[in-house]
A and B are shown apart, each in its own frame.
Chain A
């Protein structure tokens, strides 16, 4: 089960799925007390960033 979860995580990163849990962990450890984006806001912000500049896709 643990292995499966790890592989799912790896696959998700490779295809570029935004990782909200990692973001939350980061904010908790590095910026405790700061306001965090909601899951929905985070997902939208990530997608906009990915498709608004060259450098995420090639020929």
Chain B
């Protein structure tokens, strides 16, 4: 009886999902409602979770509720702590979800909603969630080892070192591109600048409060912090409206970039309790609150999507970033479909908290599905804007010119409608001086969200909602940036310590300052390059970030495949080989094009050649301030090319090393013996 009902229910879920997918994929020329997109996503996730995740859990890992997890076996009251599965789910989700799944889909909306939506929905079920889940299981069976350690143990020392250096490089690119998103969101916006600046003293106030006034009352301090954040929003509005103060906080891109670098440096050398920890607590609450608010807003309004299913920019001529829909949609949307960074978390804190092995399905696979849903919601928020408005916000100055008239003309030439007064009215309604060419994704997402919230709650609050959205996006990003800078500093100290042991001492201030300064200089260089780039910077840095993230995912999937094959489950290795193959195809194609495409809008080297030729001829291209600036831009292009080449080569090394091991194991030259910690029953360990 029960099985018949199960079959009927799951049959209905699958049919509903298929119908919704068909509806979004086949509609042409008519606008469809966001509800179809949500239905398609949620039904696909449910089916994937119920069937595919269960298959991986039982057929491959044979997750066993009686087998002791590291949290149980090595319980120490601080690192290894058995924790309720829903709490671990919340913790893991708060750690993996950041600005990535919001920004990527917003940028990819230039292809229309369909390519991004399909990649997010299909990519997560067969790729992203599989990666997170497999790495979590592998780490749980190995005392909670990190991805780098597993690469070294399972594949070999070369792979281990390559993975370590690649992680460092990826963090540099990640931090610089996220910082660029913040700079572009705050440029010439006194309201935003004041609000975001105030979050720093607010966090420090919370830190001092937690240390000296009411130690350990984190929720109380966070509540006070949230009230103060609302005050910061109001203060920003007040400053922006004040003719004497507003110009002081109307900053240019380069100034903001230097300020953010100073912030990153401070966060890396100041005590953690003063800035990082309180900011993280605040950010976690804001994160959960915003995800819920976005979901409620979309469900209440159920907006129609104004963006067409597919735009003409799939041919590679898009203004937001250049390149064809294949391969670029697959690297523009990393987080939300598949994100290599998650593998660091799935092999970081999370495996040390799982109290039972079967919980890994909810935490590893389930949390990633939830992040994917966030990405779908961000895509919806971007696609509720009319295409005219979307492109006017997201296209760089080089494509739009600097006036409302030139922008309206450019947008009309792309075949979309934009009234000359429309952007001015919109900018005014959100309390900004201009919304033209506000690249990076954050402003257009904020406009989309403000639009949704405003409609859900009855109107009149566009400006407040817009700045609320900008504030939380910047808060997310700065939390990634400051924690990332600190981690990068430790990694540099560790690397430098190999040559000069004293450099590793975390209490020796000169080393702390040098490593922090060096790491900030590394991402700061790319940030500054992006800020001063006439094409907007996002065009060159976001693909680099997407490639880096997907390459890290390829490393994680190599480790996952090796683990599965060494378990003697080679017949199921296609589970990870399938997404790995796809990622390698996508990333190698994208990398090749970014390096060698003859189109200077895509290829770094072609762009460098074009600019050096122009420089030699004494021609100044539009958007470039002076001839003297051009040699540096040529150098930057070549540097970006070198970074891309470095990432590609690192991954080829790891793939090569992995395949060698796979062949050896399958042929029997290396025993298939599992490298897992031997199974012990959980009942042998007393609970605290």
Q: Could you list which residues of chain A lie within 8 angstroms of chain B, going by C-beta atoms?
A: 8, 10-20, 22-27, 29-30, 39, 42-59
Q: Is the CB of B218 within 8 A of A47?
A: no
Q: Is the CB of B81 within 8 A of A22?
A: yes
Q: Nearest-CB distance from A16 to chain B (Å)?
A: 7
CB of B30 closer than 8 Å to a CB of A: no
Q: Is the CB of A45 within 8 A of B280?
A: no
Q: Nearest-CB distance from B108 to chain A (Å)?
A: 15
Of B100, B218, B219, B280, the residue contacting A59 (CB under 8 A) is: B100
Q: Which residue of B lies closest to A37 (CB)?
A: B78
Q: Is the CB of B686 within 8 A of A58?
A: no
Known A-B contacts A17-B218, A56-B483, A58-B345; A26 and B688 likewise in contact (beta carbons under 8 Å) = yes
Q: Nearest-CB distance from B620 to chain A (Å)?
A: 36
Residues of B within 8 A of A16 (CB): 91, 94, 280-281, 284, 349
Apart from A14-B91, A43-B273, 18 more pairs, CB < 8 Å: A10-B84, A13-B87, A13-B90, A16-B94, A22-B77, A30-B77, A30-B688, A42-B78, A45-B78, A49-B78, A50-B272, A51-B483, A51-B487, A53-B348, A55-B348, A57-B480, A59-B99, A59-B174
Docked pose: A5 CA to B172 CA in angstroms: 41
Known A-B contacts A8-B219, A23-B77, A23-B78; A58 and B490 likewise in contact (beta carbons under 8 Å) = no
Q: Which residue of B lies closest to A46 (CB)?
A: B78
Q: Nearest-CB distance from B161 to chain A (Å)?
A: 15
Known A-B contacts A22-B688, A43-B273, A59-B99; A12 and B219 likewise in contact (beta carbons under 8 Å) = yes
Stretch from B60-68, B335-343, B519-527, B660-668 that touches the partner:
B335-343
Residues of A within 8 A of B277 (CB): 47, 50-51
Known A-B contacts A14-B284, A15-B218, A16-B280; A49 and B483 likewise in contact (beta carbons under 8 Å) = no
A-B contact pairs, 28 of them (CB 8 A): A10-B86, A14-B90, A15-B218, A15-B222, A17-B216, A23-B77, A23-B78, A26-B76, A27-B77, A30-B686, A39-B215, A39-B216, A43-B273, A45-B78, A47-B277, A49-B79, A51-B276, A52-B486, A53-B487, A54-B167, A54-B348, A54-B491, A56-B483, A58-B100, A58-B344, A59-B174, A59-B178, A59-B480
Residues of A within 8 A of B97 (CB): 58
Known A-B contacts A45-B78, A46-B78, A55-B344; A11 and B483 likewise in contact (beta carbons under 8 Å) = no
Docked pose: A6 CA to B688 CA in angstroms: 18
Q: Is the CB of A47 within 8 A of B273?
A: yes
Docked pose: A53 CA to B218 CA in angstroms: 23
Q: Is the CB of B335 within 8 A of A59?
A: yes
- Bin the interface of chain B by size: 35 or more
Q: Is the CB of B78 within 8 A of A58?
A: no
Docked pose: A20 CA to B215 CA in angstroms: 12
Q: Is the CB of A57 within 8 A of B483?
A: yes
Docked pose: A23 CA to B81 CA in angstroms: 9
Q: Nearest-CB distance from A10 to chain B (Å)?
A: 5
Q: Which residue of A lies closest to B276 (CB)?
A: A51
Of A10, A46, A55, the residue contacting B87 (CB under 8 A) is: A10
Docked pose: A46 CA to B273 CA in angstroms: 10
Residues of A within 8 A of B78 (CB): 18, 23, 42, 45-46, 49
CB of B83 closer than 8 Å to a CB of A: yes
Docked pose: A12 CA to B284 CA in angstroms: 10
CB of B394 closer than 8 Å to a CB of A: no
Q: Nearest-CB distance from B375 to chain A (Å)?
A: 12
